[in-house]
């Protein structure tokens, strides 16, 4: 089994945003997301791999393979093309939450937004709550 490349690190989140976010708007949105996700989850932001900011940890075991590991409960990354939001469970029961989110594109495991003002932050919180509840039910209570 291949080892997971994306693991929690001790890199400085603030330094990462300041050096990686390629526009003033993306930096501003990243700091706003940092505050929103930290306040909402109660977890401190931590770097995961080289480019992902995560909040909390859950331990998963794949139902389709022998793979297992730790992963952030929710998170984001200020990538060049768009901000990647890791806040969605992907299960069909939660699809209705996307209806009022705003302007975004959907990836396989994340939501892409150009800027934070394109989406409804209250709906973003609902997405995070649904995802956190789902992960707690499936994998047990999350940890910091």
The pLDDT value recorded for residue 144 is: 60
Bigger pLDDT: 6 or 45?
A: 45
The pLDDT value recorded for residue 122 is: 97
Residue 140 scores a pLDDT above 90: no
Instruction: Work out whether the CA dihedral 50, 115, 109, 35 comes out positive or negative.
Output: positive
Least confident of 12-21, 54-63, 71-80, 135-144: 135-144
Per DSSP, 51 falls in state T
Q: Whole-prediction pTM value? A: 0.92
**Which structure tokens are listed for 143?**
């940890």
Q: DSSP secondary structure string, 68-94?
A: EEEE-SEEEEE-SSSEEEE-----GGG
Least confident of 42-46, 54-58, 65-69, 121-125: 65-69
- Are 119 and 105 in contact by the 8 Å Cβ rule? The answer is no
Mean pLDDT of the chain: 92
- Are 115 and 29 in contact by the 8 Å Cβ rule? The answer is yes
Domains in the chain (CATH in brackets) are: 13-139 (3.90.1150)
**Which structure tokens are listed for 58?**
């859950």
Bigger pLDDT: 107 or 63?
A: 107
Under the banding of pLDDT at 50, 70 and 90, the label for residue 141 is confident
């Amino acid at each position: 089994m291949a080892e997971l490349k994306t693991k929690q690190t001790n890199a400085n989140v603030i330094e990462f945003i300041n050096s990686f976010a390629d526009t003033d708007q993306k930096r501003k949105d990243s700091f706003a997301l940092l505050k929103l996700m930290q306040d909402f989850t109660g977890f401190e932001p931590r770097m995961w791999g080289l480019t992902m900011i995560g909040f909390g940890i859950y331990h998963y075991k794949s139902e389709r393979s022998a793979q297992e590991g730790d992963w952030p409960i929710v998170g984001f990354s200020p990538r060049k093309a768009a901000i990647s939001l890791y806040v969605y469970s992907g299960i069909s029961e939660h699809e209705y939450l996307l209806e009022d989110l705003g302007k975004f594109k959907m990836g396989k495991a994340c939501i892409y937004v150009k800027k934070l003002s394109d989406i409804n932050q209250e709906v973003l919180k609902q997405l995070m709550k649904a995802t956190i509840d789902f992960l707690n039910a499936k994998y047990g209570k999350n940890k910091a």
